[in-house]
Amino acid sequence: MSGSDATAEKDGKGEADVTAAGVLVDGEGKVVSCYIDVIQVAMPFTAEGTMNIAEGTGFSSRHVLGADYGMLKASGIGKEWNEQADAFSAWAVGKTAEEIAAGIGEDGKATDADLAAGCTVGASAFVAAAVIAATVA
């Protein structure tokens, strides 16, 4: 969660990223299929405390946004967010929850060379969601 205060000149904003993972595992606990997505929810409000939401406002996931998410220019590996999430998902296949958790460092960045080649975004939320999804009975 993050946000900014409202002033008389500018709306404030409350914001949260919601990370979801769909994970299928085999009988040995190894990932067979993985899908990661994030929805960023931003709620603007005025200094008077009024929510400033236009009717029909919706929230698109980063996968749905694809290239429109706009991370490509900031990517050191020339990949948009959805491409990096897909690279994480592909990397997770064949691994256990413990192996997935071991693939990133305390800073949330990939420590596994294969993962780092395709995913340079902070992946802590990816790992947390995938591990929970892989271990839910």
Domain boundaries, the chain: 2-135
When mean pLDDT is compared across 43-57, 70-84, 120-134, the lowest value belongs to: 43-57
Side-by-side strand order, sheet with 31-45: 2-4, 12-25, 31-45
The 10s digit of each residue's pLDDT in 20-56 is 999 999 999 999 999 999 998 877 777 777 776 665 5
- Gyration radius (Cα) of the chain, Å: 17
Task: List, in sequence order, every residue forming a beta bridge with 61; answer none if it has no partner.
Answer: 39
Looking at every residue in the chain, the average pLDDT score rounds to 88
Residue 129 confidence (pLDDT) above 90 = yes
Task: Report the 10 Å Cβ neighbour count for 61.
Answer: 16
